[in-house]
Chain A
Amino acid sequence: MGKVIVSTFISLDGYINGPNGDTNWFLGDPEMQQYGADTLAAAAALLLGRRTYELFLAYWPQATGDSADRLNRLPKVVFSRTLERVEWGSWPAPHLVKDHIPAAVAALRQQYAGDLVIFAGAGIVKAFHELDLIDEYRLLIHPLVLGGGTPLFQGWTPLKLKLLREDHFPNGVTILRYTKE
């Protein structure tokens, strides 16, 4: 059974984007790239929200290198009510899910034994949470306080979690892995 994992960059005060959608605070370093590569290596499929899909589509299908090949080869599912069709350059097109998220995720869990990794905005993550579909949260906590922006957990009912693991990177990013309590 595949496990549904949310992996997201987040500020110390819980924002996934700055006040104007800013992402100029995102950090990277070789160790974090390794985390990204490991995440992709363990992934069986990627679950994307519309905006993340559009951002990724503008970059990854043309990108080269091991991680790009891995990401491009992985099966993808795009969750969007508004898109009519999805593509991935010269690679096989993602699957588009417009509705009935629980049935789609149940089918993915049956189909894949590896991780189902969500890269999406706050809206999709909240929808998954409310449907009780998330098994693990990986928060890449950046060493700064934004003071405003898009909060990941805005309006959620309180969620108790269990800390599974923490990893620290030389650039000050801490990855906290949590599962539902």
Chain B
Amino acid sequence: MRKLIASIFMTLDGFMADTSGDLGWSHSPPEQEQATGDLLDHADTILLGRVTYEIISAYWPFATDDEFLAAKMNTIPKVVLSKTLQQATWGKWNNATIAPGEIGAEVMKLKQQPGKDIVIIGSSKIVSALAQRGLIDDFRLLINPVALGNGVRLFDDLSTPVKLKLLSSLTYPGGVMETHYAPA
């Protein structure tokens, strides 16, 4: 079965954005961008929630090729998990589709297809729902050295705690830690 990896920027107090949705606190040193590029090189599907889809589909299709991740973000097919979205677009690539069914079933269907890794970017609601169902194989958490105190929680609406095990960890210049966790 294909591996599902969630790649997420977060603060050390568990937020993925401040109250206005801003990510101004996040650092992306070149070494980390390179690691994200490597992650995408091993993937053939990017999975998104509606909110993250709406934010990044307004950005990447219009980014220039000299932006390091632009080619990868644009050429890899995207699947948007949403019951309400009517249409998904992705500039001239036009490679975003909507999966409107029950989230666990949609993701199981994707995981059972042959292919490379599936990567979730951002999408806190999707990450929480899939974490609860034990469907995420690798949580790649980029923990920034900041506490926000308020904002959009990465993990919310969990009915029970999710136990994990630490797979690996490294530190980038600027103090961002990349940690990988798997379900315990």
Chains A and B form a bound pair? yes
Q: Is the CB of A143 within 8 A of B166?
A: yes
Task: Answer whether A147 and B164 are a contact pair too, CB < 8 Å, given A153-B13, A159-B149.
Answer: no
Q: Is the CB of B164 within 8 A of A145?
A: yes
Q: Smallest Cβ distance from A91 to chain B, in angstroms?
A: 35
Question: Once the chains are docked, how many angstroms separate the CA of A148 from the CA of B155?
Answer: 9
Q: Is A47 engaged at the interface, CB distance under 8 Å to the other chain?
A: no
Q: Is the CB of A163 within 8 A of B171?
A: yes
Chain A contacts of B143 at CB under 8 A?
176
Chain A contacts of B72 at CB under 8 A?
none
Contact with B along A1-43 (1 / 0, CB 8 A): 0000000000111110010000001000000000000000000
Q: Smallest Cβ distance from B27 to chain A, in angstroms?
A: 10
Q: Is A123 engaged at the interface, CB distance under 8 Å to the other chain?
A: no
Q: Smallest Cβ distance from A138 to chain B, in angstroms?
A: 12
Q: Is the CB of A163 within 8 A of B161?
A: no
Q: Is A65 engaged at the interface, CB distance under 8 Å to the other chain?
A: no
Question: Once the chains are docked, how many angstroms separate the CA of A160 from the CA of B154?
Answer: 19
Q: By the criterion of a CB under 8 Å from any partner CB, how many residues of chain B are at the interface? A: 38
Q: Is the CB of B149 within 8 A of A144?
A: no
* Partner of B158 from A25, A145, A163 at Cβ < 8 Å: A145
Q: Is B153 engaged at the interface, CB distance under 8 Å to the other chain?
A: yes
Task: Answer whether A147 and B181 are a contact pair too, CB < 8 Å, given A154-B149, A160-B146.
Answer: no
Question: Once the chains are docked, how many angstroms separate the CA of A39 from the CA of B13?
Answer: 23
* Partner of A12 from B128, B146, B159, B164 at Cβ < 8 Å: B164
Chain B contacts of A172 at CB under 8 A?
164-166, 184
Q: Is the CB of B13 within 8 A of A162?
A: no
Chain B contacts of A151 at CB under 8 A?
13-14
* Partner of A147 from B162, B169, B184 at Cβ < 8 Å: B162
Q: Is B141 engaged at the interface, CB distance under 8 Å to the other chain?
A: yes
Q: Is the CB of B13 within 8 A of A152?
A: yes
Question: Once the chains are docked, how many angstroms separate the CA of A157 from the CA of B19?
Answer: 12
Chain B contacts of A153 at CB under 8 A?
13, 147-149
What 5 pairs between A and B have smallest CB-CB spacing?
A147-B158, A156-B149, A13-B14, A163-B175, A14-B14
Chain A interface residues (CB < 8 Å from chain B): 11-15, 18, 25, 139, 143-148, 151-163, 166, 168, 172, 174, 176, 178, 181
* 9 new A-B contacts at CB < 8 Å, known A153-B147, A172-B184: A11-B14, A143-B181, A146-B158, A147-B157, A154-B150, A155-B150, A156-B147, A161-B146, A176-B143
